[in-house]
Structure 1
Amino acid sequence: MTDAQQLKLYATHPHPCSYFADREAKTIFIDPDIKVSSPVYSELSRRGFRRSGNHLYRPECEGCKSCIASRVPVNLFKGSRTQRRVVKRNNDLRVAILDAPNSDAYPLYEKYINGRHRDGDMFPPSRDQFDSFLGAGTDSTQYIHFYLGESLLSVAVTDVLDDGLSAIYTFYDPDYPQRSLGVYSILWQISRCRDLALPFLYLGYWIRDCQKMAYKTDYKPIELLMSNRWVRLT
């Protein structure tokens, strides 16, 4: 079993930042050839690492600390009136928890990227991209499929950690904006953490000055990893 202190770390060359056009980014990542155990993966998450495909990584940008790891202490979370309405609006969805994405998942992913992220790094979508980004899970990865009748509306990719769930990515049908499926996915995972007696939902990086990453503080209280210490904001 690999110890977190013994992992090999690599760094990328500076590259254009995905969030700020005037900045360069740098990332450190764990040697992808090393089999990382579940306890070590959990410890890395507590230290601010995230998973993308088969890479565990953390931003390490010179002169910029905008990407801040975030997590929700689920037993303290109550939800706003708007969030409670989102849950009620989606109570008619059927949920299936699978070990791999089903055959309907890629067409939904393609529709989502084409409909919501044509200006992003993942456009245009491809099957190879999908398989390497979301299909390359770990032993702890679960694919939460949300159905309306027989129609797949949303998929949440989630990793089960020792102390929580890590919300890796959610994609959904953009033809149902009134359902707020992205919000519902997070609220469902918070509820799932409670059911599993796991204290945290890890939400990835909060970036205050980036609109598409700033939403995470809508889930209060939230904890942010600042100066290697989790700080709770209410």
Structure 2
Amino acid sequence: MPFDHNDHYHRLLLRRLPPHCAAALDVGCGTGRFALRLAHLGMEVDAIDPSEDAITEARERSDRMGGGRSPRFQHADMTEVELPQARYDFISCLAGIHHMPFDTVAALRDALAPGGVLVILGCYPEKTRLDWAWSLAAVPVNAVARAAVAARERVRTDSAATRRGEVKAPVRQPVMPLAEIRREAAVLLPGCTIRRLLFWRYLLVFRNHG
């Protein structure tokens, strides 16, 4: 299996969970890896993705893992879903916001319960010298990480990932520059923080203080 940049940041995102988190939403859940991690922490999890194949794989993965709670996986387009107001203590979106209009974050904001947290692991295109500097810094680290994952998978020859092909979520290249993301987020998610991450990602964190 290749080194997965989104999976690499799961622990970073989980550190943003608010205390006593009971209900979570994972937007663009793909094959369900992060949604399952949330569910195994004991919370109720809704997970949606526009790819029917990805949702099928997510449900099968949940069945194979068993134990604990299972996320409620839904095949749906986030832009066509009416989310319940003030429902979720935690909302995550991993490498998915660039698949939809950025102002979709307003619906996610409104679905947060008081004290709830929205985390977006986003992608952005290289447009500036600083963007390219971060990109170049990521290349050697990425190569080492990929080699380590490949070596581990060669050892785990009996793993399910080796025995069967895994569905891949649809890929779309990001087009919204990081500077524009910062401007839009400042209006739609006042008080949010955005910082660059290695591996061509940024982390946006917004807390509902209402």
Select the structure that is richer in helix.
Answer: 2
Calculate the TM-score normalised by the size of structure 2.
0.28
Calculate the TM-score normalised by the size of structure 1.
0.26
